[in-house]
Amino acid sequence: MIESLFAFIALFGLVFLRVPIAFAMIIVGTVGFALLRNWEASLRLTGNAAFDTVFSFTLSVIPLFILMGNLLTSSGVSDALFSTAHRALYRLRGGLAMATVVACGGFSAVCGSSLATAATMSKVAMPTMRKTGYADSLATGSIAAGGTLGILIPPSVVMIIYGLITEADIGKLFIAGVLPGLMGVLFYMLAVAIAVRVKPSLAPDGSDELPVSGGDVGGVAAVIGLFAVIMIGIYGGFFTPSEAAAIGAIFSLIIAWMRGGLTIRRLLDSCINTAKTSAMIFALIIGAEVFSNFVSYAGLPDAILAWVTGLNVGPFMVIITLMLVYIVLGAVLESLSMIFLTVPIFFPLVMSLDFGDGWLGQPDNVAIWFGILVVVVTEISLISPPVGLNVFVLRSVLKDVPITTMFRGIMPFWVSDIFRLATLIAFPALSLVLLGS
């Protein structure tokens, strides 16, 4: 237990010194395991972790889904989703911000990346919102918050990573994420409605209608069709998540080509961006495995379990406590790093809790429900100051908008996320009902 505490101190110290967290976890895990056992066993463990990760067929789902999102980004479907949502909602005050949220949700359904969704929609929605008189705070807030839906609405790279860490069924995680994802879209739209009601200067009375062209309808149809193919294929047992990722990448290539968005340059850029993102994620996976092996050998999970058992509190109170820990960590840690650091430690604890009968009477349902909660709280971390990555992605694109303005615009959406998290904790059926459990 003491060794694990020193390890976390060393890890945060290296991160503070700007050592990439993947390498920091590898260094601390390797050295810590060597001190507890010996260098030969430690180096063998680190080497095996790297080898098994790089050559894992299961992990091939990650670069394939990332490639799918990158190809669709270049296809122009984001513009189609935005203009269609705008036409449906333009009569409402704040309708353009609501349309941005809806478009983000739709793009998330085939992208799977929060950062890619935020970066893409900032280029699509921000110019129109500025032109029609929206405050920069509400405009950037709706884009940054809407972008977080990219890690919940399936297919989701974060869900895949959670499933790989915990060995939970990825197909079931995808299905379970649909309803909470739609709740996210609804709660964000309510946040816009309340914000413009409290402060009318945030949005104009109305904006000009954007007609839906044939290309817009085609883009929306392409998104819906691709989403349906992936979800029906996985849930119907026609193919595995890895096969679904490959099929999704192929269909995305076809969609981008048919819509005229595929050039040699864009294809090359999509492949390069996919390689960079995949390499970052694989490095994190290797680091997390090395570090989690060390803290497990040092007895940290058992110590936490014994401590929680000694508190004599109910299982839902334990879940609430873990979510509070995640919210605090999300304010200072990058989202993927937070998942890799905590899930291997918290998951065994959650699986040991006794939820009695009902929806959570089966361990598989507990794993799925906890996974949805982890993804939602990770969404919160993406817009939480001071680290909120989605906000910094927008800042890199919209250099003329102060970071303080962006974080001020985020607050209504952050509050709505807290309400959504509380609702999903109180009513686990919302995450499990589509599974028919």
Highest mean pLDDT among 37-51, 144-158, 352-366 belongs to 37-51
C-alpha dihedral over 180, 181, 184, 186, to 10 degrees? -100
Stated as kind and residue range, the H or E segment containing 219 is helix 214-235
Within 383-434, where are the H helices? Answer: 389-397, 403-426, 429-432
Q: How many domains does the chain have?
A: 1
Cα 12 to Cα 24: distance, rounded to the nearest angstrom? 8
Rounded-to-integer distance, Cα 434 and Cα 437, Å? 8
| Residues contacting residue 268 through CB under 8 Å, at least 6 positions apart | none
Q: What is the DSSP letter of 409?
A: H
Predicted pLDDT of residue 334: 67
Residue 417 has pLDDT above 90, yes or no: yes
Angle at 374 between CA 436 and CA 220, to 5 degrees: 65
Contact yes or no for 341/12 (Cβ under 8 A):
no
Three-state DSSP class for 240?
coil
7-16, 131-140, 425-434: least confident range: 7-16
pLDDT confidence bin for 209, thresholds 50/70/90: very low
Of all residues in the chain, what percent carry a pLDDT higher than 90? 14
d(CA 7, CA 418): 31
pLDDT tens-digit series, residues 108-129 = 777 666 777 777 777 778 888 8
Look at residue 332 in the predicted model and tell me its pLDDT: 66
pLDDT at 210: 52
pLDDT confidence of 416, banded at 50, 70, 90? very high
Percentage of the chain lying above the pLDDT 70 cut: 93
User: Which of 63, 385, 36, 15 shows the shortest CA–CA distance to 249?
Assistant: 63
CA atoms of 197 and 90, how far apart (whole Å): 16
Among 252-256, 260-264, 321-325, 426-430, the minimum mean pLDDT is found in 260-264
Query: For the residues of 26-83, what is the DSSP string, one character each?
Result: HHHHHHHHHHHS-HHHHHHHHHHHHHHHHT-SGGGHHHHHHHHHHHHHTTTHHHHHHH
Q: Which of 32-46, 185-199, 214-228, 321-335 has the lowest mean pLDDT?
A: 214-228
Map tokens 């919940």 to a residue: 152
400 pLDDT exceeds 70? yes
Could you tell me which of 437, 429, 368, 360 has the C-alpha nearest to residue 173?
368
Higher pLDDT, 414 or 64: 414
- Rounded to an integer, the average pLDDT of 322-329 is 86
**Half-sphere exposure at residue 225, Cβ-oriented, CA atoms within 13 angstroms:** 12
| 3-state SS class at 355 | coil
* Contact between residue 291 and residue 341 where contact means Cβ atoms under 8 Å apart: yes
What per-residue confidence (pLDDT) applies to 413? 93
How does pLDDT run across 78-100, given as a tens digit for each residue?
777 777 787 777 778 888 889 88
Helix locations, 314-397, DSSP H: 315-330, 335-351, 363-382, 389-397
261 or 319: which carries more pLDDT confidence?
A: 319
Distance CA 17, CA 291 (A): 18
The CA distance from 322 to 349, in Å, is 10
> Can you give the pLDDT at residue 214?
52
Distance from C-alpha of 151 to C-alpha of 335, rounded to nearest angstrom: 10
Residue 216 has pLDDT above 70, yes or no: no
Asked if the model's pLDDT at residue 321 lies above 50, the reply is yes
DSSP annotation of 434: G
pLDDT of residue 301: 66
**Rounded to two decimals, what is the model's pTM?**
0.80
pLDDT digits (tens, 9 = 90+) for 48-75: 888 888 887 777 777 887 888 778 777 7
Please compute the mean of the pLDDT values over residues 407-433 and round it to a whole number: 92
- 248-294 confidence digits (pLDDT tens): 888 888 888 887 767 888 888 888 888 887 888 788 788 878 887 88
Domain that holds residue 365: 2-435
Q: Can you tell me the mean pLDDT for 394-400?
A: 77
CB atoms within 10 A of CB 410: 25
Give residue 64's Cα distance to chain centre. Answer: 16
Distance CA 21, CA 283 (A): 9
Mean of pLDDT values over 156-173:
86
**Nearest CA-CA partner of 348 in 372, 321, 362, 367:** 367
Per-residue model confidence (pLDDT) at position 241: 79
pLDDT of residue 213: 53
**Does residue 212 contact residue 84 with C-beta atoms inside 8 Å?**
yes
- The average pLDDT across 37-50 equals 88
Which are the contacts of 172, defined by CB distance < 8 A and separation ≥ 6? 364, 368, 435
Could you tell me the pLDDT band of residue 211, with boundaries at 50, 70 and 90? low
